[in-house]
Structure 1
Amino acid sequence: MSSFRFKKFEIIQEHSAMKVNTDGVLLGAWVSISGDERAMLDVGTGTGVIAIMAAQRHVCANQSKPERTGPAHILAIDIDKDSLADAAENISRCGFCGENLRMGTELIPFQQMSAEIHGKYDLIISNPPYFINSLKAADEQRSNARHTDTLGQGEFIQASVKLLKPGGRAALILPAAEGEQLLSKISFLEERCPEGEASLHLCRLCKVHTTIKKPAKRWLMEFILSDKAPEVGYTQLVIMRNGEFSPEYKSLTADFYLNF
């Protein structure tokens, strides 16, 4: 059985189109989670690793806070039933669910979700399909997991605006080129948004470099649904320094990776 072990949970990845990867772990460790979120959504969950990382961080953030009325919820969605089977298994075994946190899965495309049926979310997280211009993979399941044919950037923006609460956030990781395209789309919509109407605004951006001498390979981005543009926090992350994992990368992922 194929699996990946973290410090506090194990991920079964027997059937999922996309296995545990650096992008997903980076996003799960980097996204802002205060513990105040009551409803969270993981889009394109795959094995469920990001949803479970969010659960671990949410539980940890609430250990020193007063008990709230009613549990928080994390919903993990995907369009691939085999991936969702792995996610459901992993969620059931993760050990973070209880009176204060509930988790579930659903087989549904993000753009087909309805605020009337599913409610609205404080946080939407996604390690989305990408490689817009690359050739399709031979395997259809893996191809759908890696390409934007099934969920384009415009659809992601529209669905996020529809499903986020006021002040809610959407976080994702993209290759640098696709990140630039997404920011261009967001800026275009910002400029044309009527005054007083909420739209997505960039609030955090981290450019991820494999080494200090290489250009950024990935962009970690966080957006907020607001009628005002916030001050943006810009950072960079270098994964490898002098042939070893960098201190900043180890610090970011230390709660998860066994060897850190």
Structure 2
Amino acid sequence: MKPFTFKQFIIEQSKDVFRVGTDGVLLGALADVHGVSSVLEVGTGTGLISLMLAQRNLQAHFLGLDINEEAAALTSLNFETAPFHTRLKNRHQDFKTFETEERFDLIVSNPPYFEESGSEKDKIARQTVELNFSQLIANAARLLSENGIFSVIIPVEAGDIFISLAKENHLFLNRKVNIKGIENSNVKRLILEFSLQRNEIIESDFIIEKSPRQYSDQYLELTKEFHVFK
């Protein structure tokens, strides 16, 4: 497959690994990486989100995990060729059985979100076959540092249950970004950020396109340091 070229790095892609998509770009650009020193990405795919976060935070060190062996190999390739490769590590690892003494300042994930279906297309990356929300949240809560942040992007339909499951694991919603595909449409995605601390919830709206195939000024500004716009 054709590589995806960003301003500071290149993402090699594969037909067997979930490709670069808008959800990943948005999480990589919007997740709160300010002031953190250790980042864990769950389900790296191509490594896109960690690479974007590494560009935004020049001190943080990153560890990526993916249960898919081909995805882990692709992440390794993309990490190795990036200008910030010395701060990037990844493993072929099941998050459910991941053990470490380290606690992370940021745990980030674009998790699988469709219930299991008969389709084999992007089965691990898109369906809750290997990792469901409960497992993701419980393990993230266990591995967060005291003031750490857990940041995800999910469909709006899953928002209430995700927030409820997080609360059961003593993770409290601190930030919510409502994402619309196009102006005057319904919210389709949420970026949710949780911590072990109760804080006032900061809520904002984000619009990807102002009209069909025309990026909004908001999206262009957000991604100007990443995308190579023609």
**TM norm structure 2:** 0.94
1:75-121 per-residue CA deviation (whole Å, 9 max, x = no partner) reads 011001111111100000011134xxx211111111211233xx110
Q: Does 1:178 align with 2:158?
A: yes
What secondary structure, in the 3-state scheme, does the structure 1 residue paired with 2:187 have?
A: coil
Runs of 5+ unmatched residues, structure 2: none
Report the counterpart of residue 173 of structure 2 in structure 1.
202
Please give the alpha-carbon distance, in whole angstroms, between the structure 2 residues aligned to 1:23 and 1:242.
18
Q: Does 1:27 align with 2:50?
A: no
Report the counterpart of residue 221 of structure 2 in structure 1.
251
Please give the alpha-carbon distance, in whole angstroms, between the structure 2 residues aligned to 1:84 and 1:22.
20
The structural deviation recorded for 1:152 is: 1.1
Please give the alpha-carbon distance, in whole angstroms, between the structure 2 residues aligned to 1:240 and 1:73.
33
Indicate the structure (1 or 2) with the bigger Cα radius of gyration.
1
Q: 1:15–1:85: 8 Å Cα contact kept in structure 2?
A: no
Aligned-partner residue type, residue 165 of structure 1: S
Report the counterpart of residue 93 of structure 1 in structure 2.
81
Report the counterpart of residue 47 of structure 1 in structure 2.
46
Please give the alpha-carbon distance, in whole angstroms, between the structure 2 residues aligned to 1:112 and 1:202.
25
Of residues 89, 92, 97, the one that matches 1:107 is 92
Q: Does 1:127 align with 2:96?
A: no
Number of equivalences: 229
The structural deviation recorded for 1:56 is: 0.6
Q: Does 1:164 align with 2:144?
A: yes
Please give the alpha-carbon distance, in whole angstroms, between the structure 2 residues aligned to 1:232 and 1:136.
38
Report the counterpart of residue 150 of structure 1 in structure 2.
130
The structural deviation recorded for 1:16 is: 4.6
Note the 1:204-243 alignment, pairs <5 A.
204-226=175-197, 229-243=198-212
Aligned-partner residue type, residue 253 of structure 1: T
Please give the alpha-carbon distance, in whole angstroms, between the structure 1 residues aligned to 2:55 and 2:120.
35
1:133-166 per-residue CA deviation (whole Å, 9 max, x = no partner) reads x623234xx2111111211111111101110110
Please give the alpha-carbon distance, in whole angstroms, between the structure 1 residues aligned to 2:98 and 2:141.
12
The structural deviation recorded for 1:15 is: 5.6
The structural deviation recorded for 1:249 is: 1.1
RMSD between aligned residues: 1.6
| Residues 138, 111 of structure 1: alpha-carbon distance in 2 compared, 3 angstrom cutoff | closer
- Percent pairwise identity: 33
Aligned-partner residue type, residue 194 of structure 2: F
Please give the alpha-carbon distance, in whole angstroms, between the structure 2 residues aligned to 1:12 and 1:23.
18
